[in-house]
C-alpha cells in the first residue's frame, strides 16, 4: 500500500456567532497518499474550503477546531504552536487559493513574493534566491521570467497570476499541495494549461495534491481518489473509476444527473429539491434525508455509518446495507418534483425554433472601440478594439450561444446590442428597426423588448430594494402596466413563473441563496415582457444542482413565451445542452458560427477545435493529456496582423500573417474565417 502523507481523523470545526455554533466540519476523515491526487467535491457551503483551512490552521477569528487529528507523516499539527505551524505552512503543506488576484500582495513585485518564500523556508537569499525564483517561474511555464519578476500582480493576466501562485506554493518543496478551486476563475484553455502543469509537476516531484473542486470533469481527469462532501460531512469515498462508473450515494447520483450536456438536450436536468440544512442543526439522522427520494424512516432517526463496498468504496447510506450489489442508477431516481412524477421530457432545442426563421435580431459589421487617452489634454493615442466588426443573427424562440475566452469581447457585444454601450460602427437591427439610429424617448420605448441577466445577481440587484420593488421598477419606468394593481398582479405572476413564493416580494436580496437571487434576476428581466434576453454568464457562479434549476427554468420560459436568448458563456456543456446556434469569438471577431450540431459536432476553426478539446469531461477518466493551447489572448489594443489567432495556431502558415481571412460558408448554416478553407465553400 502506498505511504500515507496526510491523515485527517474525526476533524470537527465550529464557527462561533451571535447564535448557535455553526458546525462547518463534523467528523471529516481523509487519507492522502504519496504522489496521488485526492479530490473533494460538493456544493458551495458544504465545508470543502473549511477543511483545507482547518488542516493548515488558518481559520477565521470566529473558528476553532474542537476535535480530531491532522497528521503529516506522523507529525500531529493540532498540537503544534503557532510558531511551529509557520514552519509547516509553505514548507510541508502549501496551498493555492481560489482567487489569485486577492491572494497575491498588490504592492509587492512577483520577485519579492517568490523570494520571500525561499528565504523563509529554504534559507535562500540574494542572487541565489533570484536564480531559484527564475527557475520556478520558468518551471510553471511563465514566458520571459526575468521581466515578470519585476512586475506587479495587476500587470499579469489571470492565468499568469495563477501560475505565480503555483510557483510560490512549490518554492518550499512541499509534500502536500492543497489546490482550492485552482481554475474556477480561468478560461477553459488556461485551465487546461494549469491542470496539465500541476499533473506534470506532481509526476516529477512525487507530490501529493488535495484538490478541492465542484467540477466533475476536472475530477475525472485529475483525481486518483474522490470524496463527496455534504453539509460538513464526507458521505462517499472511492477510487476514480469506481466513483464515475458506479456512484453509490443518492446525493452523488443527483450531482451526475444535474450535469448538462448534448445527451440531455431533449429532457429536463435533474435537480435536488430543497436546501442544504443549516449547519447549526444537531443532526439525528442522515443529513441528506429531507432531499432524498430514497429516504425512509430510519434515515431520519439514525445517523448512518460507513458501509464498505468492493474495492475500498465506502458510503454513508442505509440503502447500501441491503443493496450492496445493486447500483442505484441515475435514471432510477423517481422524481424531480414533490409530486413524484418521472423526469419530464421536453422538446429538443432544434424543435423550438426554425433555423431559417426571419431573424428577430440582426447585427452587421458592429464595432466597439474604446479610446485610450493620455496626457494633460487627454488626447486619444489609440483604441481598444473590443469588438471589431462582427455579424450575428438570432431568430425568435432560439438560443444563440456566444463563446470564447475572457477578454474576447463577448459581454461588450451583449451590451452594445442592447445599446447600453453605443457601437462605434455597424448596424444592430431588431425586428427591422435600426437601434443605433434611435435616441432618447424613441430608444426608451423599445427597451421593454430586450433585457439582460447579469453574471452576478448579488451585485446587479439593489441591496436596499425589496424584491417586489425591484420587479416593479421596470414596469413603472417603461409603463408596461397601466395601474398599480396590475403591477402587483404581474409581480406575483413573475415570482410564480420562476418558482418563488409570492411572499418573496417583501424580502431583500441578501435573504436568498445564490440560485434564488438568479431567479429574481430572471424575473426582473421578464417583468417588461421582452422578446430577447441577453444572458451574460448566468450560471457561472452556481453549483451544478442550482445551475440545473436555472437551465430548466430558462428552457421552460423559452418554450412557453417564445423568448430568444443571446447566451454568453464559456461553459461548453451548457452550450451543448441549451443552444440552437453557436458563434465562437476570438479577440473581437467571430471566427466560426453555425448550428450547435455544426460547430460542436464538426468544428473547423483551429481555435474552436482547441477550445472544445480543452474541456475536461466526465467520461474521459484521465485518459491522455490535456490539449493545451499555448500562450494567452493577445492585447486588443495591438491585435496581431492577419489572422488574430495565428501566433497561437498549430496550423498557422505564412499567409495567415498577411490578411484577416474572409468568411467561408461551408453550408447554409456553417461559416468559418480560416485560410485553411479558402475555396471550399458550398
Band of residue 333 on the pLDDT scale cut at 50, 70, 90 = very low
Task: Express each pLDDT in 107-150 by its tens digit.
Answer: 999 999 999 999 999 899 999 999 999 999 988 878 888 989 99
Provide the percentage of residues in the chain whose pLDDT is more than 90.
61
Which position has the grid cell 459581454? 411
Q: Which three cell numbers stand for residue 74?
A: 506522523
Mean pLDDT confidence for 644-672: 94
Q: Which three cell numbers stand for residue 173?
A: 518543496
Q: Which three cell numbers stand for residue 18?
A: 451571535
Mean pLDDT confidence for 257-271: 87
Dihedral Cα 474, 480, 483, 488, nearest 10 deg: -50
Helix segments in 454-591, DSSP class H: 457-460, 467-477, 484-497, 514-526, 544-561, 572-578
Band of residue 327 on the pLDDT scale cut at 50, 70, 90 = low
- Given a cut of 80, whether residue 355 has pLDDT beyond it is no
C-alpha span between 661 and 656 (Å, rounded): 8
Mean pLDDT confidence for 478-482: 86
Candidate from 10-19, 269-278, 429-438, 617-626 with smallest mean pLDDT? 617-626
E strands within 411-552? 425-430, 433-434, 450-453, 532-536
Three-class DSSP labels, 369-417: EEEEEECCCCEEEEEEEEEEEEEEEEECCCEEEEECCCCCCHHHHHHHH
Task: Express each pLDDT in 593-614 by its tens digit.
Answer: 999 999 999 999 999 999 998 8
C-alpha span between 428 and 28 (Å, rounded): 56
Residue 513: how many other CB atoms lie within 10 Å: 15
C-alpha span between 80 and 103 (Å, rounded): 25
pLDDT at 341: 31
- Given a cut of 70, whether residue 14 has pLDDT beyond it is yes
Band of residue 358 on the pLDDT scale cut at 50, 70, 90 = confident
Mean pLDDT of the chain: 88
Would you tell me the crossing angle of helices 606-613 and 188-205 to the nearest 10 degrees? 50
C-alpha span between 667 and 394 (Å, rounded): 18
Mean pLDDT confidence for 1-28: 88
Of 635, 535, 647, residue with least CA distance to 587: 635
User: Residue 505: helix, strand or coil by DSSP?
Assistant: helix
Q: Give the global pTM.
A: 0.84
CATH fold for domain 359-677: Rossmann fold (3.40.50)
Phi, psi of 178, rounded to the nearest 5 degrees: -95, 120
CB 176 within 8 A of CB 92: yes
Three-class DSSP labels, 281-312: CCCCCCCCHHHCCCCCHHHHHCCCCCEECHHH
Task: Express each pLDDT in 166-203 by its tens digit.
Answer: 899 989 889 999 999 888 767 788 788 888 888 888 98
Task: Express each pLDDT in 515-558 by its tens digit.
Answer: 888 889 999 999 999 999 999 988 876 788 888 888 999 999 99
Mean pLDDT confidence for 557-571: 92
Mean pLDDT confidence for 9-38: 91
- Given a cut of 80, whether residue 19 has pLDDT beyond it is no
Residues 6+ apart with CB under 8 A from 160: 142, 148, 632
Dihedral Cα 517, 518, 523, 526, nearest 10 deg: 150
pLDDT at 357: 58
Would you tell me the crossing angle of helices 544-561 and 514-526 to the nearest 10 degrees? 20
pLDDT at 330: 42
Tell me how long the chain is: 682
Q: Which three cell numbers stand for residue 176?
A: 502536500
Mean pLDDT confidence for 69-79: 94
pLDDT at 244: 93
Band of residue 331 on the pLDDT scale cut at 50, 70, 90 = very low
- Given a cut of 70, whether residue 388 has pLDDT beyond it is yes
In which order are the strands placed within the sheet that holds 75-76? Answer: 22-33, 4-15, 63-72, 75-76
Amino acid at each position: 500500500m502506498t505511504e500515507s502523507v496526510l491523515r485527517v481523523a474525526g476533524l470537527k470545526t465550529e464557527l462561533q456567532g451571535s447564535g448557535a455554533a455553526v458546525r462547518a466540519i463534523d467528523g471529516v476523515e481523509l487519507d492522502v497518499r504519496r504522489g496521488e491526487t485526492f479530490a473533494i467535491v460538493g456544493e458551495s457551503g458544504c465545508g470543502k474550503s473549511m477543511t483545507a483551512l482547518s488542516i493548515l490552521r488558518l481559520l477565521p477569528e470566529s473558528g476553532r477546531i474542537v476535535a480530531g487529528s491532522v497528521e503529516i507523516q506522523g507529525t500531529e499539527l493540532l498540537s503544534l504552536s503557532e510558531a511551529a505551524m509557520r514552519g509547516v505552512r509553505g514548507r510541508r503543506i502549501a496551498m493555492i487559493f481560489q482567487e489569485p488576484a486577492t491572494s497575491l500582495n498588490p504592492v509587492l513585485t512577483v520577485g519579492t513574493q517568490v523570494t520571500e518564500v525561499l528565504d523563509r523556508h529554504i534559507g535562500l537569499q540574494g542572487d541565489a534566491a533570484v536564480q531559484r525564483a527564475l527557475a520556478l517561474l520558468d518551471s510553471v511555464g511563465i514566458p520571459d521570467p526575468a521581466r515578470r519578476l519585476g512586475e506587479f500582480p495587476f500587470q499579469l493576466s489571470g492565468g499568469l497570476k495563477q501560475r505565480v501562485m503555483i510557483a510560490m506554493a512549490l518554492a518550499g518543496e512541499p509534500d502536500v499541495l492543497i489546490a482550492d478551486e485552482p481554475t474556477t476563475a480561468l478560461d477553459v484553455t488556461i485551465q487546461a494549461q494549469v491542470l496539465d502543469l500541476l499533473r506534470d509537476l506532481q509526476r516529477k516531484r512525487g507530490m501529493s495534491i488535495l484538490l478541492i473542486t465542484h467540477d466533475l470533469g476536472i475530477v475525472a481527469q485529475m483525481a486518483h481518489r474522490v470524496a463527496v462532501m455534504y453539509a460538513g460531512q464526507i458521505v462517499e469515498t472511492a477510487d476514480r473509476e469506481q466513483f464515475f462508473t458506479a456512484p453509490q450515494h443518492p446525493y452523488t447520483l443527483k450531482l451526475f444527473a444535474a450535469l448538462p450536456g448534448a445527451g440531455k438536450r431533449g429532457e429536463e436536468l435533474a435537480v435536488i429539491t430543497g436546501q442544504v440544512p443549516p449547519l447549526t442543526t444537531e443532526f439525528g439522522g442522515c443529513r441528506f434525508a429531507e432531499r432524498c427520494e430514497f429516504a425512509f424512516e430510519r434515515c431520519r432517526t439514525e445517523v448512518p455509518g460507513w458501509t464498505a463496498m468492493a474495492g475500498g468504496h465506502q458510503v454513508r447510506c442505509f440503502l447500501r446495507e441491503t443493496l450492496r450489489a445493486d447500483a442505484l442508477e441515475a435514471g432510477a431516481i423517481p422524481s424531480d418534483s414533490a409530486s413524484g412524477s418521472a423526469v419530464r421530457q421536453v422538446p429538443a432545442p432544434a424543435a423550438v425554433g426554425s433555423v431559417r426563421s426571419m431573424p428577430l435580431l440582426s447585427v452587421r459589421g458592429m464595432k466597439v472601440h474604446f479610446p485610450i487617452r493620455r496626457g494633460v489634454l487627454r488626447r486619444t493615442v489609440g483604441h481598444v478594439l473590443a469588438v471589431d466588426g462582427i455579424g450575428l443573427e438570432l431568430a425568435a424562440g432560439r438560443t444563440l450561444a456566444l463563446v470564447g475566452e475572457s477578454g474576447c469581447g463577448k459581454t461588450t457585444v451583449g451590451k452594445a446590442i442592447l445599446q447600453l454601450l453605443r457601437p462605434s460602427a455597424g448596424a444592430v437591427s431588431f425586428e427591422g428597426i435600426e437601434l443605433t439610429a434611435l435616441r432618447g424617448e424613441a430608444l426608451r420605448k423599445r427597451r421593454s423588448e430586450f433585457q439582460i441577466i447579469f453574471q452576478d445577481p448579488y451585485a446587479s440587484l439593489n441591496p436596499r430594494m425589496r424584491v417586489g420593488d425591484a420587479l416593479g421598477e421596470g414596469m413603472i419606468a417603461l409603463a408596461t402596466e397601466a395601474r398599480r394593481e396590475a403591477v402587483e398582479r404581474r409581480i406575483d405572476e413573475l415570482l410564480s413563473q420562476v418558482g418563488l413564493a409570492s411572499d418573496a416580494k417583501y424580502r431583500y436580496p441578501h435573504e436568498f441563496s445564490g440560485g434564488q437571487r438568479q431567479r429574481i434576476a430572471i424575473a426582473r428581466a421578464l417583468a417588461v415582457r421582452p422578446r430577447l434576453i441577453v444572458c451574460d454568464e448566468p450560471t457561472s457562479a452556481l453549483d451544478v444542482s442550482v445551475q440545473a434549476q436555472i437551465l430548466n427554468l430558462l428552457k421552460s420560459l423559452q418554450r412557453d413565451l417564445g423568448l430568444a436568448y443571446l447566451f454568453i458563456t464559456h461553459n461548453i456543456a451548457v452550450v451543448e445542452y441549451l443552444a440552437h446556434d453557436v458563434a465562437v469569438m476570438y479577440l473581437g471577431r467571430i471566427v466560426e458560427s453555425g448550428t450547435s450540431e455544426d460547430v460542436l459536432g464538426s468544428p473547423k476553426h483551429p481555435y474552436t477545435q482547441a477550445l472544445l478539446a480543452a474541456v475536461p469531461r466526465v467520461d474521459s477518466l484521465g485518459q491522455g493529456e490535456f490539449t493545451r493551447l499555448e500562450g494567452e489572448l493577445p492585447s486588443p489594443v495591438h491585435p496581431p496582423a492577419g489572422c488574430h489567432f495565428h501566433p497561437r495556431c498549430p496550423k498557422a502558415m505564412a499567409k495567415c500573417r498577411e490578411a484577416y481571412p474572409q468568411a467561408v460558408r461551408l453550408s447554409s448554416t456553417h461559416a468559418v474565417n480560416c485560410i485553411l478553407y479558402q475555396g471550399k465553400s458550398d
